[in-house]
Structure 1
């Protein structure tokens, strides 16, 4: 049985839960922390004892981790400042593993930190407990009072002055929308510039421009007279709204420039560590555009272009631990899909593509300690999400240095060589040369089928591929471990664990899946032209309320590879609920967002073509009608009797109608079967019954006969 950093185990007899903080590389001891006691410190435990306790059922592993904070957009900048301040205090301490877990070393380290940062011993101890108990991430240090008071809602502006009573008799004003507009103009004109003025200077310039009561001239010099002190905003109000509306990256980029911000002021997200001790020490991620053209699963006559393939590789074992195949990217969204795949249950993932495997065939479902990525997708502010949520160190390879990610680059090369002889639509070296075959016309595989091929290839690589150039160290040689990815991984799990991180799959999806805005109306949850519903919507009568009160917007997370389900997200509550397709959208089930988008575009194109054909028919109809009318007008003119007066013409309508009706009856009363010739002989049958008039009586005659029958 294996244990992983961040796992939660529980003593069934006391119902106390403990988090695994650190595991000895030799897998002999580990340290745990009591999650039910905020005064607790790490405890040393033998791995064998904990294993035995779980085997006999006295202890259990807990999958749902409710202690990891769900970061919300409702946090204000001051909360992040508090977090960063706490992190700066303990960042060196928490890296002193395992010394920080031992009491004799911990006391010295904490005292040294207290002296260095001028903080108290209980404060450092509180920060350490929060960091350890809440998943060993930076966001664990966020304050717990984000939901106190009005939950970030602004107070309505009224006649009564908001805020605490004035100390020195200056009432001031309430900041309304017009005042905030002035604040923004002043900040952008005087503070968010390369001149790097002080905030107090920007405030003074604002007063001069917008709060002048009068202007006097003394000796030819303009003197601005400010309004009364109780009718102008204070410097404190100006600072408050500045801090509320502008974050650090915006300010630094505006004042110091983009290049200098990236060089000197961006968050330090990478590390210079290059040591690879075991599985999870470092993963490499990269993307490439596949050299094959694919067709749509909806209609194989639609060529959808070349796929984007993402691979995530473990450096120690060379095992492929995650993948993504789609039409997204190379981009941040595609990279997040690949990282999401890293933590999913691979058995369930393969089953989605009709491939059955055992859990031992692809056992990776962990995040690493360090992620080496490309400079493109993983450079910038977005990557801070990974740092905050998972305390994941991200290294960006330098431009034009693909050799820094040699492992994953080599795997791409293997993929291209292995699939080339078999794939229809594969691009050869003569692609786009004059006279070369257009390989796009050979496309036959769908995105799903191509993904199936790559999954099978990765499974074969992980379990069978012999790494000729892998340099085994003495431990691997001593244990006779073959340089095959799955064997290296399994050996590392048993002998060099401690670097892998486990997080709940739903939590990872919540953090990494791309987000979008959906509309709730009386027909369902509308997203990307697809209709969804969920249990929460039905229980709370969302659709009935939308029909009565009007539609509204909600936030969704979605997996673009399969749009059968999306997820309602509420960051403030850590809420995450699955939505399913309604019957009206079932035709899109199991399809990717790209295929659905292509399908809709094709339908619009066909609709446009049909509209043009219909327009042509309408024009033809108008032309035909006008021709008929012209002929009728010509005929009327040639036959018109000018001797008849208007009264005579109108007065003859009834007679004319009767005559026309008789004429029409004669025309329409033609026999169904025409006589073949005049020489046809008619045979007369003897009449045994007196001839009667068998004409169909009209209603008046019918009623008359009926009355006579009654009288008789």
Structure 2
């Protein structure tokens, strides 16, 4: 018996994949299930088998690669590329499963599909076994009445109009079983036959998607089988999300402001809240604050709010090397994707898939349920807040943003350092080291393990990376950015040569911009001092107003030019024709004219 041998016993056919003392790794060629280890003695009753016998038993013929068209070859090699990384680890079930899971996520296909490709290849040990098979035409199995029923269901029932089964049946009779005068024929299927065919061929997924739409299906009906841990084999995978808090806040003057936005980053492995930002504005603005909070010293941060914590309760001051987001516009923007320049990988999940980032969704649920029960009657909204006639929760608001942020901080500290994580998948080493079931303890333990992937970055470098960027132009007048001019010493040649460059700018203050060259930021200062300290919106308003004033003055300017031309022509017309001009002794003539027109201005000055 050798590796890759085929063995048969009765109707069972197996292929030997690995041989070890007293153990054999084999795959069932008939059932095509994943390979398993078995005792060598189990194969004593098996005899040799040929490929022809197996092909006959499986009703499968391996195609010659020369007979494949371009599409079949492409599909074949694409499938082999998916399973190629797993082939060296066929005997290692744990590593094999891990690779299948990561490949499924990376290529957005199911794990079972990858297993099917892998088993198909291992059964035949031939890449051409991965060629897509031609599908059988179902029309040959259907009667004409059944074809009409299928047409009517697709045309009238499986649509967003959500028509009833009886309506679809009636429309089928009208279109398929009536003459030109709309007279029903003698022979036609009954409604009970139509309903039976519908129930026999019905697919729940198709029903939901066709009648309610794909987004509604993904949000409300799809199977919830995601596993957030698949993203995080170790520390260093942060899940980002934002939510509108269920509470109304006021300002210092006692006026209602509204509901704040909580944006946060949760480590997918330990569940630790790496950072947060509480703001009135979301989008890229809140993301900048979140990134800065992640790398901030949490002890000093909490101290600013009058809260004292131990360093080990919240020891996160580095960026996760992988950030998992949804399809929000702020996460897909160019500004946020620039964070990849720091070595951070950004993964955008599909829409309406909250279970894939269950850690951050759980965080919002725990934090909001924690403070809401203590703040009833203080602006917290209940589930019935949109119902007619219910209490107006806005009138209960009494907390300011400063007050609420202190509450949120206490909730996060509880979530990180005191909440018990009962179902965390403990490893043997964690049990030996007696790691407590708190997110902060798991985080602190995980940081010292192999695979922890955190990036140390300074606040200035981080904020410069996240600033919006625009194309700037060098000219003799300086570096022109957003219709303003900037200057930096040492760029004389660039001013003279001209050219376009990439520039980062701060919308909140146009005093400076930063030229980006080869990953290095060079600061340029604004030339027009009247714009110093102003934000971009204010500057653009000034520029727009100035242009409007200039446009308004254009008619008067044109009229003035016309009047000037008329006056000059009148004067020149009175001079008459040209005379014979003497050009001799110009200096003497000039001196005489100077004496002639010389005036003593002191005599004419009034006391």
Which TM class, normalised by the smaller chain length?
Answer: 0.3 to 0.5
TM-score normalised per structure 2:
0.40
TM-score normalised per structure 1:
0.35
- Flag the structure with more relative contact order, 1 or 2, with Cα contacts below 8 A and sequence separation at least 6: 1
